[in-house]
Structure 1
């Protein structure tokens, strides 16, 4: 099958119906069996650049600290996989690489101490945004694997992201928009010019890997050739190169995962440097989708206070969801003026004002949304923009810290926002993924060391859900009869 190389907006239904049917065999039970059998000698470790990578999993631990004892405990534990939350997307490149190197060294030492191998996945969706390839390279160097090829799998069903004919698409209503034509590609820190992933690899690697050198696993390879064909393609990928995976369904992911497990079981022990979205994580850890969304009893505590939304994401989808929430519920709100946060003289005053108002609403049993003013402020370059983002995020942390009452439930909107609230405002060192509040919206059970032990923490990615998503959660969890 041959598609045009042009990166044009395409009607989803028309394109999907032109694809060959999915691979007919159900592969997940075998994958799950292999993952569970291997767990005693090999663990899957997901390096997550923000907490939203947990959005397709359940019953797996998340570490926000990576001291030797914590890593050894997880490697020798019963779970086949665990997450390490790095929040590296909020860092400047040098800091992100330093962090990846630090974790890589600690993980390698833990491997030696426990005699348990790891398969490390660098999970960074954010629609192709993040420190690639430099943080992957830093981790690989620390673990003695710097010559391995990259395996790039950005398919993410829950977020409407598909790769077809090597072009990565973002679903907008009934259309598929090439990623380079979306606002994500204009990101000051992590922008890109190409939706074709071969060209994207060349762009992000600064030409060290040319587009013509990048190998790809096509939809036909997966759906017609099956695991054996994909295995052969993956086996042929040379060192210091890259391979991209086309996919539009979880069955496609199962075929690819089966092929990878075949390779791992062979004498050659073929390995890759993984850069993937959350859908691959779910399949690689052997999880099925046969579980319901979490209900109100699992998401809200019994305290008589209001629920709290902390909204820091600036993507267009978040702003439209926030607008819908404010217009269609009785929720109280506090808008935090970013201009005041960026002014050193007014920053503390703005933080105190916002925290005081939010506290009063929550204490009175009213749900409250605390959100940053919607005009995005950026710097002259990527580093300055990340610095501005750091100030805003630190201010949101201070606001949450200053609210001296436990909310009935807590929703943090945006990857960096939710990470910082978890680690810095709530003191989370280890949490368990309970499941999802909505498709692609993970929920953590906070550990005993945290500010609110056992509380459910809802992590809402900035670019997930339709316009009504925040409203749906608020009405589901509100104590206000008018909102139910």
Structure 2
């Protein structure tokens, strides 16, 4: 698919954003799975949200921090309840620290997740605390992975060109499927008509690249779609957002990973350095890869890993999990622990997707399978600590972090590949110091998983 020539880029640097961040509110990224961390480095991550945990994050000298909510794995009512709990705790902590906050609902760059539920809940909690949301900024772009918004329509860029997101496998998601690629129409679809497309403001590349910070700031009302072809476009939008917030407006963001980098004033940086990796890895152990994602790209990456190197594959059969999980888990743990003594171990679920009759049943099956996978991973790590853990898939990454490894506070140390796949350093809990790699199901090419493993094992 082709588009009209784009207007010249309006150059806005990360340094420009950092200058505008002086005195700005700290941003809390409510991450519905852990993959929002892959574009940044040196930001705190919380998987718990007690007031004391949030106060710890606020005491770090950063423009913002992540709270891992994992709401994409929850039913709508449970997701709403969790968001209310997190936002309330953050506001209480901020009051104690004398800090101002702004909230971002960080979700999928291919539009899967609870929208507008999550931004609605944030707005409701803010209203209970005397604040009114003036605008919801919708910026799902992930430039490093080729997810861009042009003329208000969201695309996936590949070697074959631009594909409207509604024409991809992600739009057929059993829980979060959709039919609209134009984001204004997608908002109407997801809000069941409550928010008409005509009421959505589209800040196109013509507006962003040909306008000024003030002209963009003046249009930040209601639901606003932010075009993005590259990071300069996002940073231009962020300057307008910061100006609006400085003028007293309250905004909520629904964003993909690239916005996180822009809003915190970070440049796109090279992958984490080998010297840093070497300080984290154990040379006398083998790694564990936990694969839960069912998208086609993950299956191809797993197949390519097998073509490039030997590994011990321990597979959890989904029908067996649904029939008798405990016996199946026990056998899998025994096989994996033995294999870790001599080789890389890949723990995965069977690749055939088992879906329910409706959204609720599909979510229930997904939760049961995820619980079996993370329980198995937890028992493996307890029995034999690996050199590193890689989790493949967004929800899987969240569950492995919290259930399998017991991570409650961590630092994002950087990416393993350019702009994608983040490495965390846990700083508390039983996994303290164990390198943890968060690898989304829908990023990279067929070699990316094998490339990450090669980097981890070369040191």
Which TM-score applies when normalising by structure 2? 0.95
Compared with structure 1, are the counterparts of its residues 311 and 290 closer, same or farther at alpha carbon in structure 2 (3 Å cutoff)?
Answer: closer
Give 1:247's aligned residue.
228
Q: Aligned to 1:383, which of 345, 349, 360?
A: 360
Give 1:438's aligned residue.
417
Q: For 1:147 and 1:447, how far apart are their aligned partners in 2?
A: 35
CA positional deviation for 1:73: 2.7
Tell me the alpha carbon deviations over residues 424-452 of structure 1, each in whole angstroms, 9 at most, x when there is no partner. Answer: 11111100000001131111001232x23
1:51 is the counterpart of 2:18? no
Give 1:304's aligned residue.
284
Query: Contact 2:153/2:181 (CA < 8 Å) preserved in 1?
Result: yes
Q: Aligned to 1:86, which of 69, 87, 106?
A: 69
Q: For 1:222 and 1:431, how far apart are their aligned partners in 2?
A: 35
Query: Contact 1:303/1:407 (CA < 8 Å) preserved in 2?
Result: no
Which TM-score applies when normalising by structure 1? 0.90
Give 1:20's aligned residue.
7
Q: How many residues align?
A: 452
Alignment of 1:173-322 (within 5 A): 173-234=159-220, 237=221, 241-266=222-247, 269-295=248-274, 298=277, 301-322=281-302
Query: Contact 2:271/2:417 (CA < 8 Å) preserved in 1?
Result: no
Give 2:328's aligned residue.
350
In structure 1, runs of 5+ residues without a counterpart are 1-9
Tell me the alpha carbon deviations over residues 247-276 of structure 1, each in whole angstroms, 9 at most, x when there is no partner. Answer: 11001111111111222222xx12222100
Query: Contact 1:367/1:478 (CA < 8 Å) preserved in 2?
Result: no
CA positional deviation for 1:465: 0.4
Q: For 1:171 and 1:358, how far apart are their aligned partners in 2?
A: 38
Greater shift, 193-202 or 64-73, is seen at 64-73
CA positional deviation for 1:84: 0.4
Greater shift, 201-210 or 75-84, is seen at 75-84
In structure 2, runs of 5+ residues without a counterpart are none
CA positional deviation for 1:303: 4.7
SS at match of 2:110: helix
Q: For 1:60 and 1:323, how far apart are their aligned partners in 2?
A: 33
Greater shift, 327-336 or 247-256, is seen at 327-336
Q: For 1:146 and 1:463, how far apart are their aligned partners in 2?
A: 35
Alignment of 1:47-126 (within 5 A): 47-126=30-109
Query: Contact 1:325/1:470 (CA < 8 Å) preserved in 2?
Result: yes
1:148 is the counterpart of 2:126? no
Query: Contact 1:103/1:139 (CA < 8 Å) preserved in 2?
Result: no
Tell me the alpha carbon deviations over residues 287-333 of structure 1, each in whole angstroms, 9 at most, x when there is no partner. Answer: 11244434275166225221111000001111111111112211221
SS at match of 1:342: helix
Give 1:5's aligned residue.
none
Query: Contact 2:8/2:209 (CA < 8 Å) preserved in 1?
Result: yes
Q: For 1:225 and 1:53, how far apart are their aligned partners in 2?
A: 29
CA positional deviation for 1:143: 1.9
Q: For 2:359 and 2:326, how far apart are their aligned partners in 1?
A: 26
CA positional deviation for 1:139: 2.0
Compared with structure 1, are the counterparts of its residues 287 and 137 closer, same or farther at alpha carbon in structure 2 (3 Å cutoff)?
Answer: same
CA positional deviation for 1:228: 3.3
1:38 is the counterpart of 2:23? yes
Q: Aligned to 1:167, which of 131, 153, 156?
A: 153
